[in-house]
Amino acid sequence: MPPGSLGFPRYQLSAQPSSRELTLNRTLSRAPSMRVQPHTLASSLPPPEPAVSEDRQRLLGTLGLYELVEKQVAGDGNCQFRALSDQLYGTPEHHAAVRSLVVSTLRDHPDQYRCYVSDKPYDVYCADMGRSGTWGDHVTLKAAADAYGIKIVVVASFANSPVINIEPERQTNSRTLFLSFWAEVHYNSLYPKQEPPGSAQQAPAPAGTGGGGGGGKDAGGKPPKVLGSSRLGKLVHGVAAGVKPR
């Protein structure tokens, strides 16, 4: 299902992998990986801070091992869609358009995804996912892969098999999207260390989207909050800088 179907504004994504994506594909081909069944989030609350800090350190270790860097996106509940937007368009600004296509895919193909949603009626789940600020989960990642016909690779903070491969039902684009996942806290967009964020030209916006608001920093140039929590946001930046949480 290419962009342009499901009521999405017609915009031709590049079908050829960029040098950044080819580098990431080569790098992560040697990492332990797995495929997992889509699942919804068990809770909308972040884990206790000690567990958060341990998971963050583990993720940073994995990223360092494979020479990967994150482009931080705002943690306002839209981080998964912001990270996908950054991978697709070179900017997190079009997260609303990405969410719209993902939710349309969920609604138009209930038989394909309903079995993965067990905590609430499927129509309620789709309605919730249509609201800005609702956390994306593994079901929405699978729907994104299917909607764009594109493979998604997630480098997660899990102790074993930190790389998760999400394959589309029908691959129509040879590119691959790369995200980091600090479970169950935050998604970011991934880049090779030798080709960090800002080194590539930003792709044009999807026609008619008008952007999505919010970038890598809040107004005033401050680092983005994580999950809307200033304390958790400080923890993110503290762990990255090697500062132990208090």
76 is an active site residue: yes
Catalytic residue among 39, 55, 79, 119: 79
Sheet strands (E) in the chain: 33-34, 68-71, 151-156, 163-166, 176-182, 186-192
Exactly one of 94, 95, 138, 186 is catalytic; which is it?
186
Burial group, residue 64, by CB count within 10 angstroms (0-12, 13-18, 19+): exposed
My answer on whether omega of the bond before 184 falls inside 30° of 0, hence cis, is: yes
- Report the C-alpha gap between 209 and 124 in whole angstroms: 25
Instruction: Say whether 3 sits in a helix, a strand or coil.
Output: strand
Residue matched to tokens 């040697």:
30
Spell out the residues 6+ positions from residue 54 whose beta carbon is closer than 8 angstroms to its own. Answer: none
Contact 181, 156 (CB under 8 A): yes
Question: Token pair for residue 20?
Answer: 């950044």
Q: Are strands 186-192 and 176-182 parallel, antiparallel or unpaired?
A: antiparallel
Q: Given the residues 76, 86, 137, 146, select the one marked as catalytic.
A: 76
Q: E-assigned strands of 123-170?
A: 151-156, 163-166
- What sign results for the dihedral spanned by CA atoms 126, 128, 134, 137? negative
Catalytic residues: 76, 79, 186
